[in-house]
Structure 1
Amino acid sequence: MTTAAARATLSTALVATVIFLTAIAPLATDMYVPAFPRVAGDLSATATQVQLTLTTFFVGMALGQLIGGPVSDQRGRRRPLLLAIGLMSVASVVCALTPSIGLMMAARFVQGFSGGWAMVIGRAVIVDLATGAKLVRVLNLVAGVGGVAPIVGPLLGAAILQVSGWRMSFWAVAALGVVMAVAVLVAVPESLPPGRRHDGGLRAFAYAGRQLLGNRRYVGYLLVTGSAMGALFAYVATSAFVLQSMNGLSPGAYSADFAANAAGMTVAALVAARLAGRVPTRAVILTGQVAALAAGVAMLAGAVWFGTPLWLALLCFLVLMSAQGLILANAGALASAEVPEHPGTGSALLGFVQWVAAGIIAPIAGLGGEYTAVPMALLMTAGAALSMIGLLVLARPEA
């Protein structure tokens, strides 16, 4: 073990840096979503082409996490993390300068890939340095404080549009990348000493993957997080249509409600962090799943029989989002605890499954058009139910 690795501790500065890293995805996405109409006009693109820049970003996020975790298990955490942050900043500059929607899609893929790479390594650093209740507490803290980014992102993007063009959003993300790199240099030591690293190559990755997927409880927690993420993105993809097109909510009121729901998820994650070590983590997850299932069923009933009244949609969305604060970080912590010998690969598979679920569910939720909430409600209900199956059946403790 190297001297630096031996001294590596879970400091406040390190946790703050990892929280900063988790903000990459929401900031890189939400800051420029308000500018979609301007992007389409400036780049002579259709609305569908602009929306595809989100899809390429999500695909990149999923692949970046899948590859970045195993690479960091082989090479260590610090250098691959710095490389990923640098690549993300370069891709952001390309987005800011792009003359065409095609180049924008490619740059967004690279931005997502490098951002996912950085996020999974940040999570692996936490797993390297914490175990048990402390791991659960810290991951919930990361999720809770990091949940501020989805609130700030759209507001910051809208503010930028008031004083400048949409390209400035990407310049801002590039600048944040530079700040992240400095934070990593100062606060994140190498947490994986050479003696704990695994040999690289596709064969080693396939071996680690077989070990992980052969662990029934780990697979159960994969289903828990993937299904919960699917339910969450059914809301993200269609809530604007439900609240604005169907119920006449103004864009400002919708933004306020979106922020309130994100705040609900943040508060729930912080409460879960306080409960770590006091209340069984599985019980906290199950509480969130029951709440999410109730929200999905109520939303489905309202969509089928009552025309999706505004008060019901607002309540169901708040409950659904808050429930995710009890589910995602806790299930991720328990999944990591199942595979301590492959923390990077374990985190990579978790991230891959979550972002693949997000990328698949988002377009499906909108298949019914902008004047029905039935597909979204079905996906919310199914996601919550599958998540419960993952916890109670696949991830059940040994007798």
Structure 2
Amino acid sequence: MSGQADVADRHRALVTSGLVATVVFLTAIAPLATDMYVPAFPRVAAELSATATQVQLTLTTFFVGMALGQLMGGPVSDQRGRRGPLLVAIVVMTVASVVCALTPTIGVMAGARLVQGFAGGWAMVIGRAVIVDLATGAQLVRVLNIIAAVGGIAPIVGPLLGAVILQLSHWRVSFWTVAALGVAMIVCVLVVVPETLPPERRHAGGLRAFVVAGREVLRNRRYVGYVLVSGSAMGAVFAYVATSAFVLQSMNGMSPIGYSVDFAANAVGMTVASFVAARLAGRVATRTVIAVGQVAALAAGIGMLIGALWFDTPLLVAIVCFFVLMTAQGLIGPNGGALAAAEVPEHPGTGSALLGFVQWVAAGVIAPIAGLGGEHTAVPMAVLMILTIAISMVGLFVFARPSR
């Protein structure tokens, strides 16, 4: 028993600040590749002779790629180890970013974005699995919250950097920037990330093994509940991401720079909340922290719906509700993911893969639905905010309820 404890202590000792920083870097690529690009949609449509819907589909293909990459990356890393598959994923993502920067047509862009998302999702899920390999209990919750908190800088920097790039240069520079970050990631992984899954802890590969592991993971009722907690909250966030520009700019006349500043402020709220959640790990029950976030997010959704139905979505109502929703996500998402991982320690890669798959499928499905009402109503978005948070609460209080 003491020998196992010594091994666990050595593993926890490997969770260095450099390793955490590298995993933050890996998880930041998705919001950077998305948020830097969104402000350029009108220019992309004009230059590539594409409709607004076609340009928006490049966002959807990216989300689909993220979902599939996370679904496959975790099981493959359970079989092959973490370091090798991680390096391959970053190289592919970097190449796909270069193709996006050079794209001649919207069709090539959509395909390259699919590959970029797939490789980025693959890298993200392995990064999370590396942490799960090395940390347990309160330390796992604390580290994942720190990663989410520091990673929240990406949604702050992304739209602002994208706006600056559009002001000073060309929208293609955004993708060259992502490609350069990919090269930096390769260097970081080579220098900092060790192989955290030794051969004796790896699972046999193949589709059959993945199906068996997935079935075993999904039989865990509490794991499924925490996946619903985190995945549904992600859906609420992307209802906001997909439509907030229309609500704030088209409906309320906010300038693009003003919108970028507000977007960044909301990301600051999420980052601060994640830091608070990290400090509370081991002191306050994690389920309690999640519940507080869910109640706040639900209130934001109800406030937005009331404002949309009866008051034509005033600017102040939209700003406050968006800020509360995003801040609450800092309490819900990372904690839900940490508790899900803790439920399936024997299959960390598969558990992380299924969690990531659900999160990005939710993002890909919710984003276009939220915009069905067009650019002059916030009702569909508000309804989706309420519905997704309600599902998140069902996950916490029904599926993931404590065993008697």
With structure 2 as the length reference, what TM-score do the two structures score? 0.96
1:287 corresponds in structure 2 to 292
Residue 349 in structure 1 maps to residue 339 in structure 2: no
| Distance in 2 separating the partners of 1:242 and 1:279 | 36
1:204 corresponds in structure 2 to 209
1:154-173 counterparts in 2 under 5 A?
Answer: 154-173=159-178
1:151 corresponds in structure 2 to 156
| Distance in 1 separating the partners of 2:102 and 2:38 | 17
Structure 1 residue ranges without an equivalent (≥5): none
| Distance in 1 separating the partners of 2:363 and 2:222 | 22
Deviation of 1:111 (Å):
0.4
Residue 91 in structure 1 maps to residue 96 in structure 2: yes
- Once the two structures are overlaid, the 10-residue window that deviates more, 164-173 or 383-392, is 164-173
Deviation of 1:383 (Å):
1.0
Deviation of 1:161 (Å):
2.2
2:4 corresponds in structure 1 to none
- Once the two structures are overlaid, the 10-residue window that deviates more, 198-207 or 34-43, is 34-43
Asked if the contact 1:264/1:322 (under 8 Å) is kept, the reply is yes
2:330 corresponds in structure 1 to 325
1:184 corresponds in structure 2 to 189
Provide the aligned C-alpha RMSD in A: 1.4
2:198 corresponds in structure 1 to 193
1:31 corresponds in structure 2 to 36
Asked if the contact 1:8/1:189 (under 8 Å) is kept, the reply is no
1:215-234 counterparts in 2 under 5 A?
Answer: 215-234=220-239
**CA offsets per residue over residues 147-199 of structure 1, 9 Å max, x none?**
01011011112222233212221111111111001000111000001111000
Residue 136 in structure 1 maps to residue 138 in structure 2: no
| Distance in 2 separating the partners of 1:238 and 1:292 | 17
Asked if the contact 2:159/2:263 (under 8 Å) is kept, the reply is no
Identity %: 78
Residue 369 in structure 1 maps to residue 374 in structure 2: yes
Residue 309 in structure 1 maps to residue 314 in structure 2: yes
Letter in 1 for 2:380: P
Deviation of 1:307 (Å):
2.0
Deviation of 1:359 (Å):
0.5
Deviation of 1:7 (Å):
9.8
**CA offsets per residue over residues 99-123 of structure 1, 9 Å max, x none?**
1111111111000000000000000
Deviation of 1:257 (Å):
1.0
Among candidates 238, 262, 265, match of residue 270 of structure 2: 265
Letter in 2 for 1:272: A
Deviation of 1:237 (Å):
1.0
Asked if the contact 1:8/1:191 (under 8 Å) is kept, the reply is no
Among candidates 99, 102, 124, match of residue 119 of structure 1: 124
| Distance in 1 separating the partners of 2:40 and 2:251 | 22
Letter in 2 for 1:88: M
Deviation of 1:387 (Å):
0.6
Among candidates 296, 305, 310, match of residue 300 of structure 1: 305
Residue 57 in structure 1 maps to residue 62 in structure 2: yes
Moved over 4 A (4+): 5-8
| Distance in 2 separating the partners of 1:37 and 1:241 | 13
Q: How many residues align?
A: 396
**CA offsets per residue over residues 224-249 of structure 1, 9 Å max, x none?**
11111111111111111112222222
Asked if the contact 2:12/2:135 (under 8 Å) is kept, the reply is no
Residue 384 in structure 1 maps to residue 389 in structure 2: yes
| Distance in 1 separating the partners of 2:155 and 2:365 | 20
With structure 1 as the length reference, what TM-score do the two structures score? 0.97
**Structure-2 change in CA distance of 1:169 and 1:83 (3 Å):** same
**CA offsets per residue over residues 246-268 of structure 1, 9 Å max, x none?**
22222222211111111100100
Structure 2 residue ranges without an equivalent (≥5): 1-6
| Distance in 1 separating the partners of 2:95 and 2:246 | 34
| Distance in 1 separating the partners of 2:88 and 2:270 | 31
- Once the two structures are overlaid, the 10-residue window that deviates more, 115-124 or 29-38, is 29-38
Among candidates 41, 46, 50, match of residue 46 of structure 2: 41
Among candidates 236, 240, 247, match of residue 235 of structure 1: 240
Asked if the contact 1:227/1:383 (under 8 Å) is kept, the reply is yes
Deviation of 1:41 (Å):
2.1
SS of the aligned residue for 1:23 comes to helix
SS of the aligned residue for 1:397 comes to coil
Among candidates 261, 266, 281, match of residue 276 of structure 1: 281
Deviation of 1:344 (Å):
0.5
Letter in 1 for 2:372: L
Deviation of 1:215 (Å):
0.5
